[in-house]
Structure 1
Amino acid sequence: MNLNSQPIKLFLVVAFSCTNLLVSLTPILAKPTPNRSNAKTTLAQATTFTQPPIPPGSSPGGRVRGGAKRGGPSGCPSPKIDLTALVPFTEEANSVINVWAQTTVEHPSWFFYVPYTKDSPYTVEFVLQDLNANQVYKKAIALPDKPGIVPVSLPSTAPTLAVGQQYRWFFTINCDKQQNAPPTYVEGVIKRVNLSQPTVKQLETAEPLKRYALYAQNGIWYEALTTLAQLRQKNPQDPALKAEWRNLLGSIRLDDVAEEPILPETP
């Protein structure tokens, strides 16, 4: 027997054992570690906005897009994307569009995509009325530095929205100083409601992304949109929040404004 061959055999046995160990560890080493971003993306895929039925009575009507008015063109130039209200809408069989959504707060916020900038000499106005056409609130809105999504909040100094009551809002851009041509505008109806006590309890302890999901699942559009918009403004590059935003606006068929920037509220 050749004694010199024994060390070689021993080396081969050890090497073979190490190779088997590495192969057995490979699935463990290759397994990705979960991260918070993946969790948020999963939520984006699972969260859907539940649109409640329109209250009984006369239809809310409304306009979710600006642009040409029935009976004549708008006095405003035609942008790539029209003035748009970020609000759910339904299209009925008789071509009537209903723009309607719910809030739970006394002083909610609205969001509008505005295609015109402060370089244009246009006047902008937000008006809130009760259903008897009595004015509740009125504000002149400054055009933004660039096209984008503009929030409009009902200030704490304004009258509070009453639970169970509906209100009609208008966002109007007048592009003709002489007012010979009609303005471009959007309008809809908002209703304040109360949530169930179990849902209120959940909201009190939920982190912001979960609060957004709870509002969306319970048909509370304005707080769902506001909560997600605030998260996006704090984390504008977060891909998971971008996915949530696209998912939410896509659920109400407003995909074309989902990539537009969310701008600060103008004074």
Structure 2
Amino acid sequence: MLACLSSVLSVAMCSAPLLAIAQEYRPPQRGTPARREGAGTRGTCLRGPKLLMPLIPIDNFSATVSSSPTFFWYVPRAEAQTAEFALLDSNDQTLYKTVIKLPNTPGIVSFNLPTNVTASVLTVGKDFHWQLSLLCDPSQPSVNPFVEGVVQRMKPSAALASQLKKASVRDRPALYATAGIWQDALATLAQQRCTNPQDPRLVDSWSRLLQSVQLEDFAKEPLQSCPNVLQR
């Protein structure tokens, strides 16, 4: 699987021009995909017109080369004050679990997977499942809205590693997006937006990236937390 994915990424890097800041995501070929789904209202927990939504590609898969990948979700107004994040293996065995404090207002929430977890659990080249559940009623998990997805940590191709080493901070999101590495494209761009929230080029680039995976309805939602992106 890893060799196949790396091959696809290498071809993408060699054949695609650098897209500067206004980038679009180019997904890797993975056969029959799953499909991203948002979580609707259960009882009175969620309020507002939008769903709880993972900021991931439509096929529910995202790749990362980071030793501490960042996950993003749009969290609507809700009764819950906390959420539970869980990382599972291919047999749905829980490898890591933690509780995340939620903001008081709707917006985009991020979570960095700790580096010690990645080093011991997130094996390169394998698919892992993740889930985020809003803890509306901790005593009744079945009523808690949740979303899920698949992530794979990979080793970057030689071409990508070389381009990342030479690239400016502003060009890194475009390189990741062109190579099909969603997690790091979104995280590096989010970090830049946190630093320069009024920069129109970054606002446009963020909109284009989300639009490329049919998440344009969430492009104007505020970033409620900033990722701590480890440079590679």
For the criterion TM > 0.5, the same-fold answer is yes
User: How far 1:76 sits from its partner (Å)?
Assistant: 2.1
Secondary structure of the 2:116 match is: coil
Q: How does 1:1-267 map to 2 (within 5 A)?
A: 43-45=20-22, 47-54=23-30, 61=34, 63-68=36-41, 73=42, 76-90=45-59, 99-116=60-77, 120-160=79-119, 161-176=122-137, 178-179=139-140, 182-264=143-225
Q: Quick check: 1:44–1:247 contact (8 Å CA) kept in 2?
A: no
The amino acid across from 2:27 in the alignment is Q
Moved more, 231-240 or 204-213: 204-213
Moved more, 136-145 or 233-242: 136-145
Secondary structure of the 1:111 match is: strand
User: How far 1:121 sits from its partner (Å)?
Assistant: 4.6
The percentage of aligned residue pairs carrying the same residue is 37
The amino acid across from 1:209 in the alignment is R
Q: Quick check: 2:77–2:106 contact (8 Å CA) kept in 1?
A: yes
User: How far 1:66 sits from its partner (Å)?
Assistant: 1.1
User: How far 1:181 sits from its partner (Å)?
Assistant: 5.5
The amino acid across from 1:245 in the alignment is W
Judged with a 3 Å threshold, the aligned counterparts in structure 2 of structure 1 residues 62 and 134 are, in CA distance, closer, same or farther, namely: farther
Q: Which residue of structure 2 lines up, in the alignment, with residue 14 of structure 1?
A: none
User: How far 1:194 sits from its partner (Å)?
Assistant: 2.0
Partners of 1:235 and 1:127 lie apart in 2 by 31
Judged with a 3 Å threshold, the aligned counterparts in structure 2 of structure 1 residues 180 and 212 are, in CA distance, closer, same or farther, namely: closer
Judged with a 3 Å threshold, the aligned counterparts in structure 2 of structure 1 residues 49 and 137 are, in CA distance, closer, same or farther, namely: same
Secondary structure of the 1:244 match is: helix
User: How far 1:176 sits from its partner (Å)?
Assistant: 3.2
Segments of 4+ in structure 1 off by > 3 A?
42-45, 59-64, 120-123
Secondary structure of the 2:111 match is: strand
**Number of equivalenced pairs:** 207
Q: Find the structure with the greater CA-based Rg.
A: 1
Taking structure 1 as the reference length, what is the TM-score of the superposition?
Answer: 0.71
Q: Quick check: 1:150–1:262 contact (8 Å CA) kept in 2?
A: yes
Q: Quick check: 1:246–1:258 contact (8 Å CA) kept in 2?
A: yes
Q: Which has the higher contact order (CA 8 A, sep 6+)?
A: 2
Q: Please report the RMSD computed on the Cα atoms of aligned residues, expressed in angstroms.
A: 2.3
Judged with a 3 Å threshold, the aligned counterparts in structure 2 of structure 1 residues 121 and 201 are, in CA distance, closer, same or farther, namely: closer
Partners of 2:138 and 2:26 lie apart in 1 by 41
The amino acid across from 1:176 in the alignment is D
Q: Quick check: 2:46–2:77 contact (8 Å CA) kept in 1?
A: no
Q: Quick check: 2:81–2:104 contact (8 Å CA) kept in 1?
A: no
Name stretches of at least 5 consecutive residues in structure 1 with no aligned partner: 1-41, 91-98
Judged with a 3 Å threshold, the aligned counterparts in structure 2 of structure 1 residues 122 and 61 are, in CA distance, closer, same or farther, namely: farther
